[in-house]
Amino acid sequence: MSAPASDALAEELFEPVSAWWLSGTPLEAEHQRLMRRRLTPIPWSETTAAALSPAERGRLAETWTRRAAAEYLAVSTFAVLAIDLVAAGAPAAVLSLCMRAGIDEVRHAELCLRMIEIYGGKRVLPPPGMSSLPDDPERPRLHQALANTLLVSCVSETYATTVLTATRDLTRDPVAHAVLTSIYSDEVMHARLGWSYLRFALERGGQGAIDAAAQMVPVALRGVANVVERERPVGEVTDQVRDHGLMTPAEERVIYSSCVREVLVPGFEALGIPCGTAVDDYGETWARAA
């Protein structure tokens, strides 16, 4: 028989993060089991949001609203990527991790919805929608699978891990810190699955596979750059807002620039994929243009 303390912990682990986003069907218990990916509970009651000004809370609520939409969309990204991987005959370990990644993104969206409620006092649902990945029935399946994996996993998810690490390092609020840590821990695996599959596919695909990867590199890098360059919600990034896990657009540019130079391009070149002018495209001039 378990001790009362661990019973309480188990209860907490099964407590829905965003109860209003559930279906009301008997599926909910199984859903909670799937969502219990990380065993460290988020210390929700320790939020310091009450000490913020209304403008600061508004800025953070809007940021988490955008994060929730992005995480929700990522569910469909991995679902579509899974189709490409199945079509290309990807190995079981890659398929299971891709499907797992989609489940993780549901959880990330739930965490973000709870954060919107903490800062904005509102229960906001993510907007419906789905992401589309390049799809060309004429090209070899292996090429499409590896190119889309490079886009989704190697570039987007690897950048997510670098920006989340930097954001988490400046975060002092215990809830925001725990949420960012929890999401970060999953994104690391989302990136790893891509790099692992890319190597696997390149070893089998020869020059055609390298060409398909090389063609995708500038497209994928531009895709993330578009997100980094996007207009931000209204409101100043005060020191207090930073404590809750928010950087300035200028800081994000510097992080992306160094991610391209120090992580992505060296990673692709180590696999034999030429990256053209990527380091210059996102070099000093781009980084300082905010």
Which residues in this chain contact Fe ion in the complex, by CB under 5 A?
71, 105, 108, 187, 190
CB of 105 to Fe ion, least distance (A): 5
Of 233, 41, 262, nearest to 165 (Cα)? 262
Comparison of 163 and 212: residue with beta carbon closer to Fe ion: 163
Nearer to Fe ion, 108 or 253 (CB): 108
- Closest approach of Cβ 36 to Fe ion, in Å? 17
- Which of 56, 105 has the CB closer to Fe ion? 105
As measured in angstroms, the least distance from the Cβ of 187 to Fe ion is 5
| Cβ distance to Fe ion smaller for residue 52 or 175 | 175
Given a contact cutoff of 8 angstroms between Cβ atoms, the answer to whether 88 and 149 are in contact is: no
- Nearest approach in angstroms of CB 78 to Fe ion is 8
Return left, alpha or beta for 167; rule: phi > 0 is left, psi -120 to 50 is alpha, else beta. Answer: alpha
Please say whether the beta carbons of 257 and 287 come within 8 A. yes
Minimum CB–partner distance for residue 104 and Fe ion (Å): 6
Q: The tokens of 1 are what?
A: 């028989």
Question: 244 with 176: CB under 8 angstroms?
Answer: yes
Q: What does 53-120 look like in DSSP terms, one character per residue?
A: -HHHHHHHHHHHHHHHHHHHHHHHHHHHHHHHHHHTT--HHHHHHHHHHHHHHHHHHHHHHHHHHHHH
235 Rama sector, left if φ>0, alpha if ψ -120 to 50, beta otherwise: left
Specify the residue, 198 or 287, whose C-beta has the smaller distance to Fe ion.
198
**Closest distance to Fe ion from the beta carbon of 4 (Å):** 35
| Closer of 105 and 110 to Fe ion (Cβ) | 105
Please say whether the beta carbons of 132 and 73 come within 8 A. no
Nearer to Fe ion among residue 187 and residue 243 (C-beta) = 187
The 10 Å Cβ neighbour count of residue 135 is 11
Determine the longest span between alpha carbons in the chain, in angstroms: 63
Burial of 203 (0-12, 13-18, 19+ CB in 10 A): exposed
Rounded least distance, CB 152 to Fe ion, Å: 9
Q: Which amino acid is at 15?
A: E
Q: Which is nearer to Fe ion, 84 or 105 (CB)?
A: 105
Least distance in angstroms from the C-beta of 240 to Fe ion: 25
